[in-house]
Amino acid sequence: MRIVVLAGGIGGARFLRGLKQAAPDADITVIGNTGDDIHLFGLKVCPDLDTVMYTLGGGIDEEQGWGRADETFHVKAELAAYGVGPEWFGLGDRDFATHIVRTQMLGAGYPLSAVTEALCARWKPGVRLLPMSDDRVETHVAVEVEGERKAVHFQEYWVRLRASVDAQAVVPVGAEQAQPAPGVLEAIGEADVVLFPPSNPVVSIGTILAVPGIREAIAEAGVPVVGLSPIVGNAPVRGMADKVLAAVGVEATAGAVARHYGSGLLDGWLVDTTDVDTVGEVEAAGIRCRAVPLMMTDVDATAAMAREALALAEEVRA
């Protein structure tokens, strides 16, 4: 079975770990969000790709969900001693090596997809990890701070501001001119099922879908497309997805997110058992819906979620 998964960071990475357990023989291609990539200290940092790579490759800081296990922060402390920031972005020493290798390869002319493949040669994530695009896309968030409206990089909004101010708009700058990375459209075209993990529908999956050709390829693939709600009981399971959902005029409910994707894209939708009342509303929108436990408390629980998603896909197919 060939599965294509659109993934953001922590939520996507943890779901993939469950999916690998649920479908050990599946051929999994992950299309990773690169809209939250950022240049720091002259280095190219790809937080979502790295979170997937580290999580599936056994290098992740399990508690934190991002960054490397057994990490130290001497480079960052020294940069701060030179007065060089930002200090709000937590790059560890081991993590720095990844960005140094990536930046050096990009500088030598390799596209991000080739760089990602080279990095994965070490981590062996057990999936094929593709960036959504080799072109630069950078998610900016329009905010109003002290009466002044300005656009900040998504990482600044998410990490520095902790989404403490309202997002007035979320714009994946460069997406319209971006092309899907080599292999992305081919993987979708050959997939037996496409899954949307419980990742952020706006800044993770939404950004991937904003790359021209990807949404269309998924809609026209003629295979089941099944998603899992990142909203449980009218709140994001983790992160601050409600803030960016508001910016695109979508309520932070499991049902509203399904309708935001729409029946033209989505065939099946899993909501948490807490949100069983939503099932009728989603089905009325033309999307098959089931209520199952959606808390990724451990790998077994996550694998059960993945099995439910695959079962719903089979139901859709039949």
Binding residues: 50
228-247: contacts with its own copies (CB under 8 A): none
* Window contacting its own copies (CB under 8 A); options: 72-80, 133-141, 218-226, 272-280: 72-80
Give the C-alpha distances (Å, rounded to integers) separating 262 from 133, 227, 274, 284. 24, 11, 22, 11
94 binds its own copies (CB under 8 A): yes
* Window contacting its own copies (CB under 8 A); options: 13-21, 89-97, 125-133, 247-255: 89-97
Closest separation in Å from C-beta 82 to its own copies: 5
Closest separation in Å from C-beta 76 to its own copies: 8
Task: List the structure tokens of 112.
Answer: 């991000």
| Residue 248 DSSP label | T
119 binds its own copies (CB under 8 A): yes
107 binds its own copies (CB under 8 A): yes
Task: List the structure tokens of 53.
Answer: 């790579």
> Is it true that the peptide bond before 212 is cis, omega within 30 degrees of 0?
no
14 binds its own copies (CB under 8 A): no
Alpha-carbon dihedral angle through residues 241, 161, 77, 45, given to the nearest 10 degrees:
50
Minimum CB distance to its own copies smaller for 126 or for 293: 126
Q: How many C-beta neighbours within 10 Å does residue 64 have?
A: 12
Q: Please give the size of the binding site for its own copies, defined by CB under 8 A.
A: 27
Task: List the structure tokens of 50.
Answer: 């790295």
Task: List the structure tokens of 190.
Answer: 């050959």
Cα–Cα dist 58/314, whole Å: 31
**Residue of the chain from 2, 26, 43, 248 that contacts its own copies (CB under 8 A):** 43
Residues near its own copies (CB under 8 A): 41-43, 72, 74-79, 81-84, 93-94, 96-98, 100-101, 103-104, 107, 118-119, 122
